[in-house]
Amino acid sequence: MEMNSTLSELCSALQDSFSLDTKDTDVVDRESEVNLIQSVLSKSLKASTGSALYVCGLPGTGKTLSVLKTALKIQATSKRCDVIYINCMRHKDARDIYVDIYHNLKKVKKSQINFSTGEIINQLEKTFFNAESKRMMFCILDEVDHMVSRTNKDLYRIFEWPFEEGSRFTLIGIANALDLIQKHLPRLSSCGREPKLLHMKPYTQDQIYIILKDRVEKVTTEDFVQDEALRYCAKLIEVKRGDIRKALDICRQVMARKQLEFQRHGKEDLEVDEYLLSLDDMMDMMDDVFGESNSPKIKSLPLHAQLIVISSQTASPTALNYLTFAAVYKEYLSNCSLVYLDPVNRNEFFDVLSSITSSGLMSLDTNEKVEENKRRITLVFNKDDVVFGLEHLKMLRPLLDQLESTNIGGEQ
């Protein structure tokens, strides 16, 4: 898709490319994770023995995509293996899952599988534990936490299948929780049948950027999308725990919005130096999406007020865990020198601080009996708000970097 296609068509194509689809999507920048999955599966295939892997991580870390793509890739190069993908969330009980496996394996209509659950299990085991056969079964149980029950009888059975005598059944369980196995299936480790563990960490901003960029480049190599727009999105999504779905959703939404704009104004060409998707478009979208946040307010504050806002996040609280005027002032002075800015004097500081409190972002204890230095400051915003709001200011970059490196994971 190049220059001569209309702006609206370009917007559509970009929207499509930012989709959450797994079908035509390559796994980008998950090399070591994919390698691990691949090595478990190919070893199992080569040796014709079952194996078990548990993949965990927060939503939108590429678990489903990485597992599915890797399994299908191996299947495509070997005639000896079947891949079954089952999303446990879509099944009402364990029987439903056995039925689904049976249906996939034997190519029998689900409505015809009307014998008892015990019989289904029997038949499955006969097929899986068959030393004569060289066929391997790769079974992916996604959202496997939905199978957790009081006794976990079925989870135990399925997680033990790979280890039974002559087993050709390889299981990949996927869920969010890091501790699902220890918590719900502790017996596995005591009998040496614990699955291998793969923990997918949240995407970093660099990875998110690379994934988004890759999607854009699939549509066009021209300079339609401002690089900073993708970087900005990636940065903020990293702060929001690296859920790649959110990044893709936002990119889709922003393209839909632009498309509407172009159609409404009958616009057919971009101006010189105009982007189809600019940093400003992205910032507006982010503001809307995270609308409840305080970042727009922070963004519109004057510079020294913004410095105070940052300083209030990094200042040291008292032993009783609250912020004082003195602590924030001290932090402000040191932050000013870090970015080579002359600080305002103490009286002016008080005024700027008051302007922030009147915008509703923080409150200052006004008890006249308390000495000014010891007055308590309470914040209404959080670290994300600050990073979102001030991200675009190059000058404050060093302070934001410092802010982001403090208390990682300390907030929900």
Ligand X SMILES: Nc1ncnc2c1ncn2[C@@H]1O[C@H](COP(=O)(O)OP(=O)(O)O)[C@@H](O)[C@H]1O
Residues forming the site for ligand X (CB under 6 A):
20-22, 25, 27-30, 57, 59-65, 211, 244-245, 248
Candidate segments 58-66, 94-102, 164-172, 354-362, binder of Mg ion by CB under 5 A: 58-66
Strand partners for 56? 175, 199
Angle of CA points 261, 264, 265, to nearest 5°: 85
Residue 22 contact among Mg ion, ligand X, none, beta carbon within 5 to 8 Å by kind: ligand X
Helix, strand and coil content of the chain, in percent to the nearest 5, comes to 55, 10, 35
Q: Give min distance, CB of 25 to ligand X, in A.
A: 5
Report the residue number, 29 or 287, with the smaller CB distance to ligand X: 29
Report the residue number, 64 or 70, with the smaller CB distance to Mg ion: 64
Angle of CA points 277, 282, 286, to nearest 5°: 155
Strand partners for 76? none
Burial class (CB in 10 A: 0-12, 13-18, 19+), 217: exposed
Residue 245 contact among ligand X, Mg ion, none, beta carbon within 5 to 8 Å by kind: ligand X
Residue 307 contact among ligand X, Mg ion, none, beta carbon within 5 to 8 Å by kind: none
- Report which of 309, 313, 281, 283 is spatially closest to residue 296, judged by C-alpha positions: 283
Measured at CB, which residue is nearest to ligand X?
Answer: 62
Q: Give min distance, CB of 238 to Mg ion, in A.
A: 19
Report the residue number, 121 or 200, with the smaller CB distance to Mg ion: 200
Q: Give min distance, CB of 57 to Mg ion, in A.
A: 9
Report the residue number, 64 or 295, with the smaller CB distance to Mg ion: 64
Candidate segments 60-68, 161-169, 350-358, 383-391, binder of Mg ion by CB under 5 A: 60-68
Q: Give min distance, CB of 271 to ligand X, in A.
A: 32
As a whole number of angstroms, the distance between CA 240 and CA 250 comes to 13
As a whole number of angstroms, the distance between CA 261 and CA 245 comes to 24
Residues 6+ apart with CB under 8 A from 284: none
Report the residue number, 64 or 311, with the smaller CB distance to ligand X: 64
Virtual torsion, Cα 317, 319, 322, 323, nearest 10 deg: -40
Burial class (CB in 10 A: 0-12, 13-18, 19+), 287: middle
Q: Give min distance, CB of 68 to ligand X, in A.
A: 8
- Report which of 206, 138, 192 is spatially closest to residue 167, judged by C-alpha positions: 138
Yes or no: say if 230 and 211 are a contact pair by the CB < 8 Å rule: no
Report the residue number, 143 or 385, with the smaller CB distance to ligand X: 143
Report the residue number, 14 or 379, with the smaller CB distance to ligand X: 14
The single-letter DSSP state of residue 293 is S
Q: Give min distance, CB of 245 to ligand X, in A.
A: 5
Report the residue number, 70 or 324, with the smaller CB distance to ligand X: 70
- Report which of 362, 311, 313 is spatially closest to residue 334, judged by C-alpha positions: 311
Report the residue number, 16 or 96, with the smaller CB distance to ligand X: 16
Tokens standing for residue 359 = 């915008």
- Report which of 67, 31, 72 is spatially closest to residue 52, judged by C-alpha positions: 67
Q: Give min distance, CB of 136 to Mg ion, in A.
A: 23
**70 touches Mg ion (CB under 5 A):** no
- Report which of 284, 283, 276, 282 is spatially closest to residue 259, judged by C-alpha positions: 276
**64 touches Mg ion (CB under 5 A):** yes
Q: Give min distance, CB of 97 to Mg ion, in A.
A: 17
Candidate segments 17-25, 57-65, 225-233, 342-350, binder of Mg ion by CB under 5 A: 57-65
Residue 249 contact among Mg ion, ligand X, none, beta carbon within 5 to 8 Å by kind: none
Q: Give min distance, CB of 155 to ligand X, in A.
A: 19
Q: Give min distance, CB of 338 to Mg ion, in A.
A: 42
DSSP 353-410: HHHHHHTTSEEE---TTS-GGG-EEEESS-HHHHHHHHTT-GGGHHHHHHHHHSSTT-
Number of residues that bind Mg ion (CB under 5 A): 1
Residue 61 contact among ligand X, Mg ion, none, beta carbon within 5 to 8 Å by kind: ligand X
Report the residue number, 244 or 390, with the smaller CB distance to Mg ion: 244
Residue 74 contact among ligand X, Mg ion, none, beta carbon within 5 to 8 Å by kind: none
Residues forming the site for Mg ion (CB under 5 A): 64
